Amino acid sequence: MTLSGGVRGPGGSAHRRFVSIGFKLALLSVVVVGVATAVAFFYATERERRRVLEAKRSAAGMVADLLAQSLQAPLDFNDEEAAKTELQHLEQNKEVVYAAVWRVGSSGAPMVELRGGTSALPAPADLQTPRTLAFGDRVETLRTVQGRNQEPVGTAFVQFSLARENAELVVARRNIFLYCLGLALGTMGLLTLTARHQVVRPIQQLLDAARRIEKGERGDAVEARANDEIGRLAQAFKAMNAAIFDREQRLSAANASLRELFDHMRQGILVFGSDAKVEGTSSRAAAQIFARSALAGSDVRELLYGAAGPWDAERRAFEEWLALGFDVPAEAWAEVGALAPQRVGLSGGERELLLEFRPIAQEGRVAKILLLATDETEQRRLEREMERRGAQHERQIALMRRLVSGGGQQFVAFLEQGRRRLERAAALCGQSLEGLPPAALGEVFRIVHTLRAEALAFELRELASLLREIEEQLSQLREPQGPPSEWRVRQPDLERALGAARALVEQSEELFVQASPIGRAALDNVWVRRRDVARLVELCADRKDEIARNVARLAARPFGECVDGVLEQAAAWAAKEDKRVSVGVEGREELVPRALAEVLGGVLAHLVRNAIAHGIEPVAERASLGKAPMGSIELACRSDAESAVLSVADDGRGVSGSSLLESAARTRRPLRDLSDTSHSTRSQASELAGRGVGLSAIEADLARVGYALMVASRVGGGTRFDIVPRLEQTT
């Protein structure tokens, strides 16, 4: 029943020994029942003793009265023998231990006496007062014997033993004790069981339920059958349990929402204490950013600067900041927060994090710090890519400026010469630098110096910068300090640098080709006067020989030149129709015969405008069809020695067969192709395309220079126009 153990009281008070309420109730019942039993025991035994003594006194009194009456005559006649005989009658009574008779007025020895045992006491001092008195071991009676005249003639005294009564009393006391003990034990057991069932067990159940709640488990419902204080306590506990569970549910839901919110944020969120250890749960993004499944207990210094050595300035600054951050009052945080690191590079700088630190204050001090880490690697990569593209665009614009000013040929010459020069420099530096003659070193230096200046002139800054570094190294070689073993410039380094310069020259050429509207053909171009070419064509007009064919090729124009105008305007045309389109070119270096080149600009412009107006769908329509929002128009050219085949293809809606049939039926003319002036698939003419007149004009222009227009279309799959030599022209 006793439960013991140390418990901490509310508010963390000192330990006090735990004593079960059951034990207390049991102890109380033992004390109360024990006292009550003892009282009952003593009362019962005393009552029994009194009852026995009273009976004994009464009997003794009756015997004494009878003796006094029987002694009347013997004493009245002073007959001692008779008195003795009367007294001897008492011998039959085994309990009479002493009896004596005195004559009146005598106070000495009795007239006669009877001794029944050794326990008899001496004769009483008072022989005058009749009485019956009980003592612990005996009962004494004294009676006055009256004569015939009713005057006292003597005194009779009888002493009875209480040995038998006392023996009976011992038995009775033992029985009473056993009864009381049984009653006490029964009462105590009943009280204990009642207390256990009615009080201790329900309280223990409440206690167990409270402990389960304390552990975070849901407290089971506690039965509240009894309609008493314990029952009400159980009901109150039940209600409290339900309220706690409800609040926990809401708290858990709010926590889950918050967690979900955190997890959906790009930022990694974690909290760390003054020991720099991460506490509690962190957001999912944090685990991803720091590539750890669990962050609790991790050292934030290791997370941010794990790869850095003790010499690292950023790590040391962060450690100093941590110490300061937890040392200042919360109100001084702003000043400290401004000194926190704002970025950190992870994995050797491959990944970049944007950092934000927020204090969590308690009692005016910074207790914890919240870290919000945003992975900006991708954003920074995009920014760098944009910067790179911007720089590339800038270089292309610079190259274009050179081309426009007639520098294209010079640039091509610079590229060719630069390549040759760098090859020469690499060959000279191919041997040991120690044995390199000063003249050779001087030549390499001059090559690099000249190239650097030229690169600067063409605004090739990266190449110029590299050549400047090579120049620096060569300067050191020209004026070496100390023996060759102490030279800072090594032959492999120099070779690598010259190789890098060569790569930059190649890269510049690629940029030039990309920037040129006629692509790689720009590298083969030479400047000739148009009037000279025109005259040559006139002179060869009647010839069909090799000279005529070469003149024709000389007069031919790169396809890229013919599409330049279309490329510039296509976006604007599409915008007017509220559409988006990209125009691709294939074969811009291909040569287009001079006659075709003269009409091709207009032809292509018409075809592209038609494609935008009729073929390419609006953005919304394309989206509903599952097509890319931006329509595509591809211009392509393939040429051989004498002719070219060109195409204009779009990925628009194509030409509807029914609309063509309707159109043909309306005009009652056979359907040949879309260039028939009577056919138009569009009921309303627009700014870009009308009713087929454009196609008819194109066909006429092409026919004049020996070419025909062919069309192929698939509904929903786009339309393709081919410009091909007419058969009669080629046969």
Partner 1 sequence: MSEGEIVVVDDSYVLLERIRSALRAEGYEVYVTTAAASAAVRIKTADLAIIDFHMPGTDGGQMLETLKAAAPADSSCVYYLYTSDKEVAAHYKDYGFDGAFLRKGEEAVLATQVGAVFRSIRMRKLAKKLRQERLR
Which residues of the chain form contacts with partner 1 (CB under 8 A)?
309, 311-314, 316-318, 320-321, 324, 327-328, 332, 335-336, 339, 341, 343, 345, 349, 468-469, 472, 481-482, 486, 488
Collapsing DSSP to helix, strand or coil, 508 comes out as helix
Q: Residues near 551 by Cβ (< 8 Å), separated by ≥ 6? A: 533, 536, 537, 539, 540
Rounded to 5 degrees, φ, ψ at 652 are -85, -155
Q: Own/partner pairs for 422-429, CB < 8 Å, 24+ apart?
A: 422/447, 422/451, 422/498, 422/501, 422/502, 422/505, 423/502, 425/498, 426/495, 426/498, 426/499, 426/502, 429/491, 429/494, 429/495, 429/498
CB of 314 to partner 1, least distance (A): 4
Measured from the CB atom, the residue of 501 and 688 that comes closer to partner 1 is 501
Q: Which of 128, 90, 123 is nearest to 109 (CA)?
A: 123
CB 589 within 8 A of CB 558: yes
- Closest separation in Å from C-beta 472 to partner 1: 5
| Cα–Cα dist 568/604, whole Å | 12
Distance in Å, CB of 522 to partner 1, minimum: 34
Please tell me the distance from the alpha carbon of residue 510 to that of residue 117, in angstroms, as a whole number.
153
* Tokens, residue 484: 């060759």
Structure tokens at 76: 């009245």
Question: CB of 385: closest distance to partner 1 in angstroms?
Answer: 16
Q: Which is nearer to partner 1, 467 or 562 (CB)?
A: 467
What is the nearest approach in angstroms of partner 1 to the Cβ of residue 702?
58
Determine contact, residues 340/366, Cβ cutoff 8 Å: no
Pick from 318, 314, 308: nearest CA to 357: 318
Specify the residue, 103 or 468, whose C-beta has the smaller distance to partner 1: 468
Question: CA-to-CA distance for 329 and 686, rounded, in angstroms?
Answer: 74
Q: Tokens 């595509």 sit at which residue?
A: 632
Count CB-CB contacts under 10 A for residue 252.
10
* 478 or 543: CB nearest partner 1: 478
**Token couple for 505:** 């020259």
Q: What's the chain's Rg over C-alpha atoms?
A: 66
> CB of residue 351 vs partner 1: minimum separation in angstroms?
14
Provide the β-strand partners of residue 277: 299
SS3 366: strand
Smallest separation, CB 396 to partner 1 (Å)? 25
Cα separation of 680 and 674, whole Å? 7
Kindly state the smallest distance separating residue 479's Cβ from partner 1, in Å.
Answer: 11
Closer residue to partner 1 (CB): 342 or 582: 342
Q: Return the number of the residue (23 or 321) whose C-beta is nearest partner 1.
A: 321
Least distance CB 342 / partner 1 (angstroms): 9
For tokens 């004559």, what's the residue? 103
- Closer by beta carbon to partner 1, 125 or else 313: 313
Shortest CA distance to 497 belongs to which of 436, 460, 444?
444
Q: Which is nearer to partner 1, 311 or 527 (CB)?
A: 311
The dihedral formed by the CA atoms of 211, 214, 218 and 224, expressed in degrees to the nearest 10 = 40
Do residues 593 and 644 lie in contact, with contact meaning Cβ atoms separated by under 8 Å? yes
Nearer residue to partner 1 within complex by CB, 61 or 345: 345
User: Shortest gap between Cβ of 335 and partner 1 (angstroms)?
Assistant: 6
Nearer to partner 1, 88 or 476 (CB): 476
**CB closer to partner 1 out of 30 and 324:** 324
8 A C-beta contact, residue 418 and residue 505 = yes
Shortest spacing between CB 487 and partner 1, in angstroms = 9
What is the smallest separation between the CB atom of 303 and partner 1, expressed in angstroms? Answer: 17
For residues 104 and 78, the answer to whether their CB atoms sit within 8 Å is no
DSSP 241-293: HHHHHHHHHHHHHHHHHHHHHHHHSSEEEEEE-TT-BEES---HHHHHHTT-S
Nearer to partner 1, 12 or 482 (CB): 482
Nearer to partner 1, 327 or 423 (CB): 327
Cα(512)–Cα(399) distance, integer angstroms: 7
The dihedral sign for the CA sequence 625, 626, 632, 638: negative
Q: Which is nearer to partner 1, 313 or 526 (CB)?
A: 313
Are 372 and 266 contacting, i.e. CB atoms less than 8 angstroms apart? no
Is there a contact between 268 and 373 (Cβ–Cβ < 8 Å)? yes
Orientation angle between helical segments 163-195 and 21-70, nearest 10 degrees: 160
CB of 229 or CB of 486, closer to partner 1: 486
Nearest distance from C-beta of residue 492 to partner 1, angstroms: 17
Shortest separation between residue 324's beta carbon and partner 1, angstroms: 5
* CB of residue 311 to partner 1, shortest distance in Å: 4
Closer to partner 1 by Cβ: residue 469 or 634: 469
Q: Which is closer to partner 1, CB of 317 or CB of 511?
A: 317
Let me know: does 321 contact 341? Beta carbons within 8 Å: yes
**C-beta of 320 vs 532, nearer to partner 1:** 320
- Give the strand order in the sheet containing 631-639: 581-586, 631-639, 644-650, 718-725, 707-714
Tokens of 199: 């009080």
Neighbours of 603 (CB within 10 A): 25
Tokens 């090799």 map to which residue? 546
301 closest CA partner among 335, 284, 325, 280:
325
**Closest CB 329 distance from partner 1, rounded Å:** 9
Shortest Cβ 368–partner 1 spacing (Å): 20
Separation CA 86–CA 109 (nearest Å): 18
Q: How far is the CB of 398 from partner 1 (least distance, A)?
A: 21
